[in-house]
Structure 1
Amino acid sequence: MKLLQLSLVILISLASAATSAPIYARPGCKDRCGGVRIPYPFGIGTGCYINEWYAVDCNLSTPYLSAINNLRLLSLNLENQTMAVNVSMNSNCADTIRNNSQILSVDLGDSPFLFSREDNKFTVEGCGNAVILEQNNLVTGCSTICPNQTNNPRNNCYGINCCQTTIPYYLKTYTIDTTRLQSQDSGGVCGSAFLVDEQMYSFGKFSRQSAFVGNSFVPISLRWTLRLEEIGESDCSSMTREDLYLGNGTNIESYKCTCKPIEEGSPYLTNGCQAVGPCATCINGCVQINGTGNFTCLPTQARGKSSTTGVILGVSISIGVLLLTATTFALYKLIQKTKDKRQKARFFKRNGGLLLKQQETTDEGLVDKTTLFTAKELEKATDHFHENRILGRGGQGTVYKGMLTDGRIVAVKRSKIVDESQLEQFINEVVILSQVNHRNVVKLLGCCLETEVPLLVSEFVSNGTLYEQIHNETDEFPMTLNTRLRIATEIAGALAYLHSATSIPIYHRDIKSTNILMDDKFRAKVSDFGTSRFVSIDQTHLTTLVKGTFGYLDPEYFQSSQFTEKSDVYSFGVVLVELLTGERPISVTRIGEHRSLATHFMLAMEEGEGMGVFDRRIVEEGGRVEVMAVAELALRCLNLNGKNRPTMKEVALELERIRASYLPSGNGVGKLKYNGGMEEEMILFSYDDDDIPSTSTY
């Protein structure tokens, strides 16, 4: 039904186009100024003309050519490619002899306009002779005699009081030289010599009376030219080339478009030419009447049965083409949809989707634990991964901010590469991290496996990173000693949970202040598990390629390639020193071994100058005993021998103890509680901004 409606619309449009009015100007442009039609390539207003030479100013219903001294435009002829303009002239109105006087006319310069040789005549009125010169070379001239009688009319200009002659070629500029040119009698016509449009002169289409004022105007015909590249922009169906001779051995190449004899409009515009007169309403065609130049419609019977057959055939072909186009488009969309579906299935398999489904099948507890997002859903959430949505870039990929259809704000991580040898490990991590539920660990919400690279979706954390809070402190969130102790305790508690309380221990492998995010209440959240690894409970270490960030990297791991839980402890120790000193992990101002913050801190502590490296703000707050206790704990975490470092569980407990000793009485106490002597349970207290204690258990 829709196709039939579309066919009818097209047929009606074709029928209406056949009877539409001729088009002379570009859409939105005027095609008249006063009584003068202004067809394209000329135009009134910006964007209405083909180039600046063809710009027309319409001032008080009078058109002017702004590009050539604001000459008044009298008429335009598309067929002859000419225009008539008013040009000023000088006349001798006194009964004196003028010898060798010169009247300079318009210099067309670099414009695409020429003085037309076909339409202009060199005309002399009065007694004497005059010549027209081009660069001091004679072009043409004529002379007159003046018997004692009145002037002849203009259409009888044959040498008595008036003479005319043609110009042999097109001119860009000219000079008129007169000799003994004067009026016949004291009250007669002024003696004048000028170039003039022959038709307008013969039929008196300019004011002869104006010649008495000394500086009057005459109509001159100009030929306008167009280059091939200019016409190439239009919809010219009939184009001819002309070589216009300039008289100095050179030609100007000009191109012209024309409408058919039965059409009017500007041939330089798309659909500008339209049938007019009787032919505009002809159904069966149009023929010229012999010897008259007129056209008439063919009668219906002249075409007979063949006309009806042609109409039916034309309509049938049109509908067939439309049906074929619609079918082809629908088939293309179907093929494209099938290809996209197969490609998504291939990506899903390559990215470990089958392994994920297999794990959910074998373990009923994993069903619906991991949310699988669609590619379309995440593209919509991130505005097709627009650059404005980028939260950060890292070695593992790019993180985008997104909003799901249910209104949740999320972070979408787009990995850089896919290591197919690690697919099983990757799926295991996704499954286990989806089950991790700790207030100080960024929650993994799900993933998308049907894209070229896997996409991980996690909760959005709004207040930037710990690195930014330490090194770009603001009044909104001052980094007091209590705040730093709380943040350190929260990080340690999260790492202890990952090492000890999950079903399979998780080693983060890239602990640093830029991977610690701050939520809306400025609580710490451990993030970015792109390099994390899982180990079995009986496993003591992982042997891997060394990955991490200089300044935080465990020297023992760097040398042996064996990553243990104590490697995370070392990295946490660097973060702890950052919190104490406010310094960056790698300094560009310190030199030698002091460039590393960890080494600089340990050397200062060994030399008894620890107080000199601590952040001045926390030293001034007091609590030096607690600061030194944290510094001693940091030294233990940074021990070069991993076996001598404490576990994260021990670090978390020690930080709780230090923090409890620093806080005013009644705000919370870190303690050990034993459940019948069989199992140790650690209750970690954390404090929000309103100092209301809450607990997390692992």
Structure 2
Amino acid sequence: MTPGCFRPGFRVVCNHSFLPPRAFLANTRGFPYQQSYIYTVTASSPADYGSGVKAKRRVELVDLSVATSEVRVRAAVSSRCSVNATHFQGKIEITDLGKKNSLFLLSATLNVLVGVGSSVEPIMLSEFGDTEKTMAFRPSCKSEMMDNQQFAANGSCSTLGCCLAVLPLPTQTPPLTRFGAGFMPRPRRPPSTWETTTTPCSYGMVVESSRYNFSTPDLYGHEGLSGRLSRGVPVALDFVIRSSAGTSSSCPVEDRQRPADYACLSGNSSCHNAAGGGYVCRCWVHYHGNPYIANGCQDINECELRKQSDELSLRYPCSSDGICKNRVEGYDCRCKSGMKGDAIKGHCSEKFPLPAKVVVSLAAFVVACVLMVMSRQLLKLKRFYEQNGGPVLKGVKNIRIYRRKQLKQITNNYKHVIGEGHFGKVYMGILEDKQQVAIKISIKIDKHMKKEFTDEVIIQSEMRHKNIVRLLGCCLEVKAPMLVYEYAARGSLYDVLFGLKRIDIISVDTRLGIAIGSAEGLTYMHSAVESTIRHGDVKSANILLDQNFTPKVLDFGTTRLLARGKEEKTDHVIGDLSYIDPIYMEEGVITQKSDVYSFGVILIELITRRPAVYDDQRRYVANFVQASLNNEARNFVDTAITSEADIKLLEMTSKVAVECLKPNIEERLDMKQVEQRLNQILEQSAPYNQKTSYQADLSPAPNDIPLLKDCKNEVHTS
């Protein structure tokens, strides 16, 4: 990103006007860029794309892969919307990577053309010139529902509301450096009144295959789909190396002097010519790294790598009866002494001097191998069981110890993944009594952590509170213990507020109920056992909700159990920086008041419906606190809340949040006081007294998480 750190044409710039900041490809000789053409067309006259209103902007970078010479960017969605039965308003989105000798090329194998609409026939536009006024129509597809929207179904595109076309292979067409999605000049038939009012828009996009899944709500509303995908959709590009002068270049001829700007700088790399001109660099087989920097490709140790996972063990095979030895540009695997065969293929057998003994000896060998494998497996399971504290935990009354094969049956061979994080995955399971459970992979335990882990499991097993996720059991016959918890149908509070399980309208009573229940759970944790518990990672992702929106605190088992009144200092602050107590970050000491601070951030999320974000100035918290102190908290209240009575309740809640977020921990409320304050606020809500459970106004969750709008202006105002 700074001069001297990038090859010309490959610079990345960072736009800090977004929160969080976003990366964009830098313009080199005016490219790459995205341009919008806005035009109007009638049923009697074709569209003139070139004469429309134009707007240029940079191309947003999503990610990149040096090994495969690919980058992923965002490309905007084209649209055509009915104004009435005869007039259309169109917007064509073109991505221009450079007309000649571009460093970036559209990947024809990774992308597809997609059209969405009740009556849509998108076409791919390429070689779209500002002066030539010419277009090359490449692939197209068609979706014609004839007012039969009821047949549209979520999922892949099947011409019912959504159609798909593959792109031509590089051998069939010149490299594509200027592309976009357009539409046939006129519809095949006059639109009906239903279409112009209910499904007025058609959409076209070039998108990476499998990165867009059709959903029936995409058909409805004016600019509904392009609004939800306002940042664009992922598109895969191939990048190539060209000479610094911008002209097409290729790999140098062997034994000739390399050009001064030759890109393959690592000594263990090779050059490969790319289709359409230019070249790419790749590390040699059995090397890994970055071929574009000196010493970037390093020899890999296949013998060590194969020990790390089953996938790598299959990639670099070596029989258990073989001896693996690393060498430069590969590895050797030979059968052990006294054996013969191909150890890489798994064919090692004993050497027998007398042919007459072959049959008997072979049978004995097979039996011995089976017994050896079974014995090793049993010893391995026993070692894991003891390492993970099995002898201690088997005497705990409130949890069940599951065998590894039982857990495999409960999860249907780990088929259904319902969550994933830095620790690993969370699986759905069903017990014998049909109870649904969540099985979570814990951290790997060593001999120094055994007592701490068993203590945490014992404490969790003693927790019996409606607002704390209940630990039902564990499996210890695995490398990393697996914990069996009760299942929360609605997922986390973060999912319901901002994620894939988002609910559009959540009443104030429901929000207060979630806040009070979460506070009750934390209050219980802080005072229910002989040793105090300090959660240390309180955040909306660690508060689960059942079908009735009853909150349940999760992940307190990953914190330390400290003697009452004792403080321990750590140099490694662990937790989500968006919620973590600044005092904890500075001093490394976690207290119960640290949990109170994090809970205050969750109250802000419930009030504003805006996800917590972190920056060095902690503006997310500071702006809200200042507004509340100035009696301007209503400026931050979720815009979906319109009742004056509800707004006043959230204003009172904001005062509780401010009490939780005070810089001086001695001035903060404790969790019991927070619970009492919130209950007092809820008592002032008359409708709540008529309800028997936490409720919310339910509506289908959209596919995309809405972006924060005007966030910058609101921060400036506050």
Q: Find the structure with the greater CA-based Rg.
A: 1
More helix by share: 1
The TM-score normalised by the length of structure 1 is 0.46
